[in-house]
Amino acid sequence: MTGAALEALLRRDRAVVLAALGVIGLLAWIHLIGMAAPAPGAPMGGMEMGPAPWSAADFATMLAMWAAMMVGMMTPSVAPMLLLYARVARSAEERGQPFAATGWFGLGYLLAWSAFAVLATGAQWLMEQAALMTPAIAIADRQIGGALLVAAGVYQWTPAKNACLGRCRSPLQFIQSQGGFRRERRASLLLGLKHGAYCIGCCWALMLLLFLGGVMNLLWIAGLAAIVLAEKVLPGGQKLARAVGAALIVAGAALLVGAV
């Protein structure tokens, strides 16, 4: 195959991957918008708020919301990794050593964030049972909110954050550290799951700030998603992470002082 033909195939792969990511992200945001705009008279999130016990349907509703939120927020940031996978997979196929389809890696990544969604739903349930949440699914206590901001800000400066962010910012280095891409579907799925785990290690503290601004506040969701994406793809992303951390610490301290 000529170089021009191979490059044409690579461009096609990039287009397919980007189109798939776009569809997944769009569907997630459509779901979020639908849940953020309940029918007149319906409670926020489509379920009864307050300390009343959740039903199985309530938990499923909120889990679907958290899963859609994680997919919508994190799909753009995994694009560089999936594009790299698609390109290397095409080259391997040309050599007669095909990898598992890119979708298996992507599925593993999304499964990791789905597991995080389960934990976040459980945290929301606990806070609602303790009457710590407003009807907009936001933390009602200013002291708790301030402490959450400070904690998230401090985490932005930790070695754990820096290490996980480094893995997310350098897809090729991550893959090389894991021994390369996988030919088997299960192994590719597990590799995507591991990459998702590093991504959670990078972003979990920022995700918890959803409880501060309101879980159904679409502008807040979009703002946090933009920060996550900027940290991962912009030059100087690790410096940006520390700057964001400093701003969160200052904001949290101000909130704590105001709550006294």
Once rounded to an integer, what is the mean pLDDT over residues 214-243?
85
Residue 124, number of CB atoms within 10 A of its CB: 23
Say if residues 163 and 216 touch (Cβ distance below 8 Å): no
Query: Can you give the pLDDT at residue 46?
Result: 43
Residue 203, number of CB atoms within 10 A of its CB: 27
Is residue 259's pLDDT more than 50?
yes
The length of the chain, given as a count of residues: 260
Is residue 96's pLDDT more than 90?
no
Is residue 241's pLDDT more than 90?
yes
Q: Which long-range contacts (CB under 8 A, 24 or more apart) does 222-226 make?
A: 224/73, 225/72, 225/73, 225/74, 225/76
Residue 241, number of CB atoms within 10 A of its CB: 25
Is residue 119's pLDDT more than 90?
yes
pTM: 0.77
In the chain, what are the domain boundaries? 3-259
Q: Which of 22-36, 140-154, 201-215 has the lowest mean pLDDT?
A: 22-36
Instruction: For 35-54, write each residue's pLDDT tens digit.
Output: 555 544 444 444 444 456 78
Residue carrying structure tokens 């893959």: 175
Query: Can you give the pLDDT at residue 134?
Result: 77
Is residue 226's pLDDT more than 90?
no
Query: Can you give the pLDDT at residue 34?
Result: 62
Once rounded to an integer, what is the mean pLDDT over residues 218-247?
88
Instruction: Determine the Cα–Cα distance for residues 56 and 251; give it in Å rounded to an integer.
Output: 37
Q: What is the largest CA-CA distance in the chain?
A: 71
Query: Can you give the pLDDT at residue 49?
Result: 45
Say if residues 105 and 82 touch (Cβ distance below 8 Å): yes
Instruction: Determine the Cα–Cα distance for residues 33 and 21; give it in Å rounded to an integer.
Output: 18
Instruction: For 130-154, write each residue's pLDDT tens digit.
Output: 888 777 677 878 888 899 999 999 9
Assign residue 213 a region (left: φ > 0; alpha: ψ between -120 and 50; beta: otherwise). alpha
3-state class (DSSP) for residue 221: helix
Instruction: Determine the Cα–Cα distance for residues 89 and 13; give it in Å rounded to an integer.
Output: 10
Distance of CA 230 to the CA centre of its chain: 13
Is residue 9's pLDDT more than 80?
no
Q: In whole numbers, what is the pLDDT of the chain averaged over residues?
A: 79
